[in-house]
A and B are shown apart, each in its own frame.
Chain A
């Protein structure tokens, strides 16, 4: 079983739609959780950290369920510029060992 599992997609949604991505992780000792965004042929960039109480950044909302070892990302009012691959990231053994999921691809169309 992979340490971090994501639905690879692609998710094809129209502009303005709400879309949700899910991710599960296997290491119950993980303490830090993130969503990174990677555009085609570019480097990954931090989208947002995920906190136990859930957190929101504009149109993006992240949730963490430690009991189920489950992380989610909700994108409201999708824009064309949201088209990218979204990587679920969990730490393993301290801040420095990040385990990346394979990514979920999102395509927003007009």
Chain B
């Protein structure tokens, strides 16, 4: 079975540019999570969705960040405008409502110059 799919795997961009990260959760999973991992702050939850509806976005750092889930098989995390301090690995994860385990995608390594 395919796991969580993320694209792109690597992104290098310049400060001020818009960045869009994409995620396809595991089929049948009704929860989707976006995390950010940095050396300084570790792994932090940014936002999560249940049945495509955003439930908790309290971890989103600021208005430059937005996330959408237009359907059960696709989500985006957008940063506009990007800043060097946004450089991190962004993970998407999903889980079934009947299980506790969250399954992580391979991550997108973002570098903002």
Q: Hey, which bits of chain A sit against chain B, CB under 8 A?
A: 32, 34, 42-46, 49, 87, 95-98, 100-103
Main secondary structure of the interface of B (DSSP, over half): strand
Task: Tell me whether B42 and A43 are in contact (CB under 8 A).
Answer: no
Task: Tell me whether A102 and B56 are in contact (CB under 8 A).
Answer: no
Q: Hey, which bits of chain B sit against chain A, CB under 8 A?
A: 31, 33, 42-45, 48, 50, 55-56, 91, 95, 100-102, 104-107
- Complex A-B: 13 CB contacts under 8 Å: A42-B106, A43-B91, A43-B106, A44-B43, A44-B104, A46-B101, A87-B43, A95-B100, A96-B31, A96-B33, A97-B45, A100-B44, A102-B42
Given contacts A49-B100, A87-B43, A103-B42, contact A97 B56 (CB under 8 A): yes
Chain A residue at minimum C-beta to C-beta distance from B104: A43
Q: Kindly provide the distance from the CB of A8 to the nearest chain B CB, expressed in whole angstroms.
A: 10
Return chain B residues, CB-CB under 8 Å to A43.
Answer: 91, 104-107
Residue in A32, A46, A100 whose beta carbon sits within 8 Å of that of B43 in the complex: A100
Return chain A residues, CB-CB under 8 Å to B107.
Answer: 43
| Alpha-carbon separation in the docked complex, A43 to B37 (Å) | 10
Task: Tell me whether B56 and A45 are in contact (CB under 8 A).
Answer: no
| Alpha-carbon separation in the docked complex, A72 to B104 (Å) | 23
Task: Tell me whether A96 and B56 are in contact (CB under 8 A).
Answer: yes
